Amino acid sequence: MTGLADTSHLWLFFLLVFGVIVMPGMDMAYVMASSLVGGRKAGFLAVAGIVAGGMLHVLMGVLGVGLLLKNFPQAFNVLLLAGSAYIAWIGLSLFRGATALDEITEGSPKTLKATFTQAFATCLLNPKAYVFMLAIFPQFIRREYGPIAMQALALGSIISLTQIAVYGSIVLGAAIIRAWLRTNKAGQVLLGKTIGMMLILAAMWTGWQGWQLS
């Protein structure tokens, strides 16, 4: 398969992707919550789920599903509200059920599977991701750059590697904080409620922002 004819634009795409990913939002809050509650394994599974969701976003963008949503604002708005409501529900559950970390059972396959699934859904239903795919992603897909499949692979790889680097760093940092929190049960509960509130606020903000941009 022929390679890309031009790669200079990929640096600009990386800077845009990095700027979007490092902004606090639903994905970041969920990775942090998973890491603090379930440790590094749960944190990295959350990262894997978000990366998988990001790849599906890329596929949707290439296949034109994003354009379909753009042409039917009602469907787009329903998706934004559904995603925000889902994340707000996770945040509310965490806020109301915050407990000490050592009281939470670890290592359960069902729990780890649920962590991956919820992370995947968090990314898939994130309004910020759809706004990015509609407003920015199409600008970097050009016929003169080479085969469309190669372009999608290159752009998708940049998104995935950036997610892994940024969210992976959060997992490692959260694991250190988690070890320290084991000696402070009151701090654990307070942090759980704080992260839950962060998820609720992030859901409200991204939902409102996506609705405005749609």
Q: Is the dihedral of CA 144, 16, 153, 214 positive or negative?
A: negative
Question: Tens of pLDDT along the chain (214 residues)?
Answer: 445 555 667 888 898 888 888 877 788 888 988 888 788 888 999 999 999 999 998 888 777 665 666 666 666 666 667 767 777 777 777 677 655 444 444 444 447 788 898 899 888 877 777 777 776 777 777 777 778 788 888 899 999 999 999 999 999 988 777 766 666 667 667 767 777 787 787 777 766 765 655 5
The answer to whether the pTM exceeds 0.95 is no
Q: CA 158 to CA 112: how far, in whole Å?
A: 26
Alpha helices, DSSP H only, in 24-108? 26-63, 65-71, 73-96
What pLDDT score does 156 carry?
Answer: 92
User: Which residues does 71 contact at the CB level (< 8 Å), separation at least 6?
Assistant: none
Residue 158: name the closest of 19, 5, 2 by CA: 19
Domain ranges of the chain: 25-213
